Amino acid sequence: MLKRWFSTLHVFGRELVANPRQVGAACPSSPVLASRIAALVGRQSDGYVIELGAGTGAITHALLSAGVPATRLVPVERSERLASHLRRRFPHVGVRHGDACELAQLATELTADGGGHVSHVVSSLPLRSLPPADVRRILDAVSRVLGDRGLFIQYTYSVRNGTESADRLHWCGRSVVWLNLPPARVDVFATQPSTAAEFRRTSGWDAPATDLATA
């Protein structure tokens, strides 16, 4: 366990030095943050779970531990170094080396010939650091690939309040994770107002969220 942790930290550190803007974090996600996100998906998922910006695999590991089948989990990582690390760490998971901007194409490939649907998109992307055009393209793809009951889960290191909707995605709720470096906020969005309202009724997450374009 300790050896894996040092190996992960080493890979993360090298990538942070090489591409600080793309990484957008000082440390890998904590187990508490990863578990908070994974609990939103878990065994409830009957479709594909696409993870954007999978990094060193902290959230990937949590999703698998929460019951997401390896055959339904699709981590996407832009960094070739991190994608290689993910393939070594999770040999039974279909890791994709690619850009989150190609989300729509990836979803089409996964669901072709009646192969299922995308039920969740989990994002670790540093949206504030990305070009606005890329952010719009990603969020537009998210709204198109998720079904009526699909959820978009995004975490950010900004814990301030903001708007309750963005780019055709309706706010469901938020939860702040203080046991993370730095503290993080998990925001959940849905494509349908009814799905968002149901989430708020059953989750207890009732604080306002931020505009995804500034997350």
Give the sheet arrangement for strand 146-156, strand by strand: 96-97, 73-77, 48-52, 118-123, 146-156, 184-190, 169-177, 165-166
**Residue 88: CB atoms within 10 Å:** 12
Q: For each of the domains in the chain, give its residue range(s) and CATH number, in order of start.
A: 2-214 (3.40.50.150)
User: What's the confidence (pLDDT) of residue 3?
Assistant: 45
pLDDT at 164 > cutoff 60: no
**Which of 215, 152, 155 lies closest to 185 in space, CA to CA?**
155
| Model confidence pLDDT, tens digit, residues 206-215 | 554 444 544 4
The Cα–Cα gap between 183 and 111 comes to 35
Query: If pLDDT is split at 50, 70 and 90, which confidence band does 181 have?
Result: confident
Q: Share the mean pLDDT of the chain.
A: 81
- For residue 147, the model assigns a pLDDT of 83
pLDDT of residue 61: 95
Q: Which residue has the tokens 């009526």?
A: 148
User: 10 pLDDT band (50/70/90 cuts)?
Assistant: very low
Cis peptide bond N-terminal to 132, omega within 30: no
Bridge partners for 174 per DSSP: 187
Beta strand extents in 22-145 (DSSP E only): 48-52, 73-77, 96-97, 118-123
Q: What backbone torsions phi and psi does residue 172 show, to the nearest 5 degrees?
A: -105, -45
More confident of the two residues 42 and 139: 139
pLDDT at res. 11: 55
Q: In this predicted model, what pLDDT tens digit does every residue of 62-121 receive, in sequence order?
A: 999 999 999 999 999 999 999 999 999 999 999 999 999 999 999 999 998 777 899 999
**Model pTM above 0.85:** no
Quote the CA–CA distance of 72 and 9 in Å, as a whole number.
Answer: 27
